[in-house]
């Protein structure tokens, strides 16, 4: 905590896509560390207005802009010390239908942010990536994978003092567009919970953990590093069942089949990346590709008994939560507590 405070105190932080779930959560956390200013950069004036009322802090500054627009990004970057780059198109189906838009925002937008940071002598940039960038099969994941490569390539150029690093995480629980609020919406409408495949697995991480991850990356990251939070997973079937039991819901589930661009299991670390991974306790650190003797690293990992070599770090081989454990995790979320209170009051 003190290390983070020393890093944040009296600093100016820019959060792109700052009116989203992550932006709200990281702003709440950053305000505890007495920053000089937090700049919220996004396209949505209504959400900026609501966020300003929510926090009511003179440390917040709101800028309307789009990461696709190079000029607006450069304008936002003046005087900034740190950047959290969270702006993205995140919905898999939308990116499948409009892949060029995903490239413009997720890849070229990231290039604009990184370039502006370097040209303005920003100290550190943390880009936020996703498990879908690992062995990507959809446009969202491909555009995010390109973002990672842009970050790593830029970190090698040595054009300025800016340290560029990243984070990669799976499903963040109860964020906009995620499956848990969708399930609760269906329950409030008295409909069966629609699931793609009961056996599909997904990482589960509270929003607070995603904030801790980016702060850890900000504090510890070096050029080209990507950090991964160790996270449990559950099957989609068990997640739905856990919610049904928590809310005592009697409409059951409806299996609708896998949508375009979806995987049965997600990956946070590929098997090719495993030889470049350092275990940091709660986190994995993926180092950028250096000039190395890959045979040496491969045999050292075999000797040390690491289990990630064959498949990488996936939602199928991480710790699997059963229904009771999933319920416990869900009930730790303030949003679920409030939804449950509303549910019981409505009966």
Residues catalogued as catalytic:
132
Closest CA to 86 of 119, 109, 70, 54: 109
Alpha helices in the chain (DSSP H): 2-8, 21-30, 45-55, 70-76, 92-97, 99-102, 109-119, 139-157, 179-188, 207-220, 236-246, 294-303, 323-330, 334-346
Identify the DSSP state of 257: -
- Close Cβ partners of 168 (under 8 Å, ≥ 6 residues apart): 129, 130, 131, 133, 134, 148, 226, 227, 228, 268, 286
Strand duo 60-64 + 82-85: pairing: unpaired
Question: What are the beta bridge partners of residue 41?
Answer: 16, 63
- Give the helix, strand, coil percentages of the chain, each rounded to 5: 45, 20, 35
């Amino acid at each position: 905590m003190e290390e983070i405070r020393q890093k944040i105190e009296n600093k100016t932080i820019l959060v792109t896509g700052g009116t989203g779930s992550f932006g709200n959560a990281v702003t709440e956390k950053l305000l505890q560390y007495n920053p000089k200013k937090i700049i919220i950069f996004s396209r949505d004036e209504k959400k900026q207005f609501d966020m300003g009322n929510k926090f009511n802090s003179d440390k917040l500054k709101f800028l309307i802009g789009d990461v696709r627009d190079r000029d607006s990004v450069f304008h936002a970057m003046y005087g900034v010390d740190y950047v959290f780059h969270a702006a993205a198109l995140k919905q898999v189906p939308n990116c499948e239908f409009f892949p060029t838009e995903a490239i413009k925002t997720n890849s070229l937008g990231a290039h604009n942010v990184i370039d502006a940071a370097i040209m303005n002598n920003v100290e550190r940039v943390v880009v936020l990536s996703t498990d879908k960038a690992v062995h990507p099969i959809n446009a969202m994941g491909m555009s995010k994978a390109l973002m990672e490569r842009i970050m790593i390539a830029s970190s090698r150029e040595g054009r300025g003092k800016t340290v560029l690093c990243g984070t990669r995480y799976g499903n963040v629980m109860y964020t906009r567009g995620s499956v848990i609020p969708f399930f609760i919406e269906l329950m409030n409408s008295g409909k069966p919970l629609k699931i793609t495949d009961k056996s599909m697995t997904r990482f589960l991480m509270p929003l607070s953990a995603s904030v801790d991850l980016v702060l850890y990356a900000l504090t510890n990251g070096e050029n080209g590093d990507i950090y991964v939070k160790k996270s449990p997973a559950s099957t989609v079937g068990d997640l739905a069942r856990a919610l049904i039991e928590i809310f005592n819901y009697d409409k059951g589930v409806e299996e609708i089949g896998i949508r375009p661009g979806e995987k049965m299991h997600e990956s946070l670390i590929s098997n090719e990346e495993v030889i470049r991974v350092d275990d940091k306790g709660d986190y994995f650190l993926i180092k950028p590709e250096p000039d190395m003797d890959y045979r040496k690293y491969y045999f050292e990992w075999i000797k040390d008994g690491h289990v990630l070599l064959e498949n990488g770090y996936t939602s199928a081989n991480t710790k699997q939560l059963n229904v009771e454990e999933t319920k416990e995790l869900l009930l730790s979320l303030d949003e679920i507590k409030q939804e449950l209170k509303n549910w019981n009051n409505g009966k």
